[in-house]
Amino acid sequence: MHDPQELLRPGAQAERRLSRRRYALDTETLTKLVRRRAEAIAHREALRQKLNSVTRKLAAQRGGREQDDLAMAKELKSQIHPADEAQRVAENELKTFLLAVPNIPSDESPDGGAEDPPVEIRRWGQQPNFDFEPRDHVDLATSAGILDLSRASKLSGSRFAVLRGAGAVLERALASFLLDLHTKEHQYVEHSVPHLVTPETMQGTGQLPKFAEDLFATQLADRTLYLVPTAEVPLVNLYSDETLARDSLPLSLTAHTACFRSEAGSYGRDTRGVIRLHQFSKVELVRLCLLEDVGAQFNLLLAHAEECLQRLGLHYRVVDLRAADLGFAARRTYDLEVWLPSQQCFREISSVSECGDFQGRRASIRAKRGATKEYVATLNGSGLPIGRTVVALLEQNQRSDGSINVPPALVPYTGFHTIQPDGSTFG
């Protein structure tokens, strides 16, 4: 969320900068809402001051005009409740407006959107070359009996998956490997967090109100809880409405959770296999820091996400996301895109984003600096999504007979280094 005065400050150029992400800031409406709130606050405060003055006068009086002052006090009290309500309405109207305004893109984010050529930063590793026609992950895993989409559909409908045998082991091994990497080497603190969170929690990181149609919601009596679309939501909001000690920052948090997304409007795209499911698991990385340190923390988080792919030997590239393609809460994003031989292209596997103090304001997370307080900056990145990583591992490590090699980094976690064409393991 934004400071409305900062959005309206001429030097901030918020209208121009937000237009880079193709968002039209309605400064006329915002100005009216800010003025309405200021007037409501001023009116309420004036009534309070008058009432306090009359109350003090009554306390000092002995005979004379007490009845007149009592009548005035009664009249003022009758006006204060409507004034309180008017202020509440004005503040809620302004807040509702501000909650729908996305983050301002960093000036370093390139212009353009998803339809423009990607701004490639670098590539890592060698593109796999095969002397046979590479199969996609669905054919490989289904023929080996380690992926069962039809039975998953029987359980839950489309866009769900069941992994069995070596497939399930590979999924579990990946999560354990990634958590060990991030906690033992990158010094993140692992968390086990709820998968159901309140609307306020979703609002804190920007999922609500913007992405309500992409979320799964549950209703029990008058209580609404949302299934998390990413562990970023509970991890950031662990510190909502708190003031952190400056020397406790940066905070490095990680969690492995199931993630739930309706993917509204994406039907027909990537619906084959496990690339785009309603339920998937992911190891998420979150960092909280001072705003002045966000650049260095962004580079560090990117390095941590890249190391996951490097340890697994997966060919990938880094792309600087264009301003009009940024997520709602992001100020700048680098996408990591892994090579999929069956599609002969790179596909997103991780987004590493810095949000400035946008989420810090929404969730009211501050850091104390001497006698002053400031909103913290937040960063998040996938490190990594399990399903898409399984896809890349299967496709980049397949052999002509349908067997699949397991990267050496995962062998201590799987207990095998090869998945045979029939789903059995060797090693």
- We report the CATH number of the domain holding residue 274 as 3.30.930.10
How many structural domains is the chain composed of? Answer: 2
The answer to whether residue 349 is domain-embedded is yes
348, 364, 374, 424: which is the annotated catalytic residue?
A: 348
The answer to whether residue 112 is domain-embedded is no
The answer to whether residue 283 is domain-embedded is yes
The answer to whether residue 60 is domain-embedded is yes
17, 164, 276, 311: which is the annotated catalytic residue?
A: 276
Task: Return contacts of 178-184, CB within 8 angstroms, 24+ apart.
Answer: 178/256, 178/283, 178/308, 178/383, 178/384, 179/254, 179/256, 179/283, 181/307, 181/308, 181/311, 182/254, 182/283, 182/285, 182/304, 182/383, 183/254
Q: What is 109-140 written as a DSSP string?
A: SPS--TTSPPEEEEEESPPP--SS-PPPHHHH
pLDDT score of 73 = 81
pLDDT score of 64 = 54
**What is the rounded CA–CA span in Å between residue 423 and residue 402?**
10
Q: Look up 348 and say whether it is catalytic.
A: yes
The answer to whether residue 61 is domain-embedded is yes
Q: Look up 276 and say whether it is catalytic.
A: yes
252, 350, 351, 403: which is the annotated catalytic residue?
A: 351
CA 347 to each of CA 239, 257, 318, 344: distance values in angstroms, whole numbers, following the listed order = 33, 22, 11, 10
The answer to whether residue 264 is domain-embedded is yes
20, 44, 388, 403: which is the annotated catalytic residue?
A: 388
CA dihedral 140, 142, 143, 146 (to 10 degrees): 90
The answer to whether residue 104 is domain-embedded is no
Mean pLDDT by 10 residues, the chain (427 residues): 93 96 97 97 93 81 65 86 94 96 98 97 96 96 97 96 98 98 98 98 96 94 96 98 96 98 66 90 98 98 98 98 98 98 97 98 94 96 98 98 97 98 94
Residues 25 and 149 reside in one and the same domain: no
Residues 238 and 356 reside in one and the same domain: yes
Q: Look up 388 and say whether it is catalytic.
A: yes
Domain edge (last residue) among 32, 66, 99: 99
Q: Are 39 and 93 in contact (CB under 8 A)?
A: no
> What CATH number corresponds to the domain at position 86?
1.10.287
Residues 85 and 134 reside in one and the same domain: no
Residues 296 and 391 reside in one and the same domain: yes
Residues 56 and 171 reside in one and the same domain: no
CA 252 to each of CA 236, 239, 313, 418: distance values in angstroms, whole numbers, following the listed order = 10, 13, 25, 34
pLDDT score of 269 = 53
261, 322, 331, 362: which is the annotated catalytic residue?
A: 261
Residue with tokens 């080996």: 144
* Residue range of the domain that includes 149: 119-426
**What is the rounded CA–CA span in Å between residue 293 and residue 299?**
11
Q: What is 238-270 written as a DSSP string?
A: TTTTEEEEGGGPSEEEEEEEEEE---TT-TTSS
Residues 56 and 166 reside in one and the same domain: no
Q: Look up 364 and say whether it is catalytic.
A: no
The sheet carrying 372-375 orders its strands as: 242-245, 365-369, 372-375
Residues 208 and 82 reside in one and the same domain: no
Q: Look up 56 and say whether it is catalytic.
A: no
Residues 234 and 188 reside in one and the same domain: yes
Residues 82 and 132 reside in one and the same domain: no
pLDDT score of 270 = 66
